Structure 1
Amino acid sequence: MKAGGASTDLDHRRIGPRLRAVRQERGLTLAQVAAGTGLTKGFISLLERNETTPSVPTLFKICGYLGVRIGSLVQEEAVASLVSRQGRGEDLFGGFGVTDILLTPLDQRFLQVIESVIDPGGTSGDEPHSFEGDAEVIYMLKGMLDVTFGERTFRLRRGDALTLAPRDPHSWVNPSPRQTATVLWIITPRSL
């Protein structure tokens, strides 16, 4: 896709090498990044070599630890960017029964919007996750989603929105045995 002559395509093959470059610029070892993010050294090594693709929360966690915005991994900031329907159908980040599609250009520094289609029983994983960000809004477009935040579980249905602090551990699951859920995640990355 193009807008104002600047490409806004996500080339996930750029993420790994750029993460490695940022890590090395900061003088950090794989072991330090692993310890700081709770990920394994092997996973980070695979990611840097483009042999695996991170989930959205994992990418936010790594970027938060390194002190960079996700958009800085792909391209320079554009004045205006269009993300067209035709160019956004790729499963960018993977997950457990979830297809994540980034709707905002990665160079968007102040807001990231991700659309997720979550299969019945799809989940964020066995453990609650967190990442560096100022705010996270979960907006339900279709279906249901149970979001556990602290000791509380919120059942979201079409039209519901939940705002939370992404730094605090949380998890989610599509509780429906038959219906997919479609969710918008609206995230303000960590203020630097």
Structure 2
Amino acid sequence: MSEAAKPDGADAEPRVGAVLKTARLARRRTLEDVAAEVSITKGYLSKLERDTVSASVATLVKICAALDIPMGALFEGPAVGEVVRAGSYPPIEFGGTGVAEFLLTPGGERRLQMILGEIAPGGGSGDEAYSLPADVTFAFVLAGSLVIAFPGADGADVHLGKGDAFTFDARREHSFTAGADGARVLWAIVPALPYQTRSDRP
């Protein structure tokens, strides 16, 4: 395929634009930064996402690499979503003591991150407070109890039990600790954070 406008009657060619756009938005990448990485123009990438131009194989390979998607995904058609099956949640590592965490959203999804946390009795993030490079954190306690502490002059401890939900500024320093019965917590972070799978650890 050449990097030129599609001629009349080219509708039979694979339409890859929707797949590329969906992948780019999921990764919170702009047209500008993907185009710069691939060494094409923003306008050309925009046209490619609208399927008004076709691209060379070499260009598609570069775009897929930039978006971290397999070439084969281009020809499967745009997906309505991505399933993470029960029992197949990838374990991830954000630190803490007595904490096991599992990613519920796809690894390439950067707009939102959903994490299932299993926290042992008395376990948690540790004594030192931390903040996250995100906008919002949401916590929903599925079982047990959890204390989220905010240090400082205006700090406070928020006590959460089963069924309680709490939304707060992710950039504010905080820490969390499970109660005597432990805790099972559904966390949502917007936008998604970089993370390390257990298999990535040295």
TM-score, length basis structure 1: 0.55
Q: Write the distance in 1 (CA, Å) between the matches of 2:66 and 2:120.
A: 29
> What are the ranges of 5 or more consecutive residues in structure 2 without an aligned counterpart?
1-36, 38-64, 193-202
Structure 1 runs of 4+ with >3 Å offset:
72-79
For the pair 1:172 / 2:176, whether they are aligned, the reply is: yes
Is contact 2:144–2:179 with CA below 8 Å preserved after alignment?
A: no
Deviation at 1:95, TM superposition (A): 3.2
Is contact 1:75–1:106 with CA below 8 Å preserved after alignment?
A: no
Q: Write the distance in 1 (CA, Å) between the matches of 2:190 and 2:172.
A: 14
* Alpha-carbon distance change, 82 to 130 in structure 1, aligned in 2, over 3 angstroms: same
SS in 2 for 1:172: strand
Aligned CA-pair RMSD:
2.8
TM-score, length basis structure 2: 0.53
Aligned-pair identity (%): 36
Deviation at 1:87, TM superposition (A): 1.2
Deviation at 1:74, TM superposition (A): 9.3
Aligned 1:26-175 pairs, distance under 5 A: 75-76=68-69, 79=79, 80-88=81-89, 90-93=90-93, 95-150=96-151, 151-175=155-179
Q: Write the distance in 1 (CA, Å) between the matches of 2:121 and 2:139.
A: 18
Is contact 2:142–2:184 with CA below 8 Å preserved after alignment?
A: yes
What letter corresponds to residue 92 of structure 2 in structure 1?
Answer: L
Q: Write the distance in 2 (CA, Å) between the matches of 1:86 and 1:182.
A: 16
SS in 2 for 1:143: strand
Number of residue pairs the alignment of both structures matches: 118
Match of 1:187 in 2: 189
* Alpha-carbon distance change, 118 to 129 in structure 1, aligned in 2, over 3 angstroms: same
Q: Residue deviations 1:145-192, cap 9 Å, x none?
A: 01012410011001111111111100010121xx221001111117xx
Deviation at 1:75, TM superposition (A): 3.7
Q: Write the distance in 1 (CA, Å) between the matches of 2:157 and 2:67.
A: 35
Is contact 1:74–1:106 with CA below 8 Å preserved after alignment?
A: no
Q: Write the distance in 1 (CA, Å) between the matches of 2:159 and 2:100.
A: 20
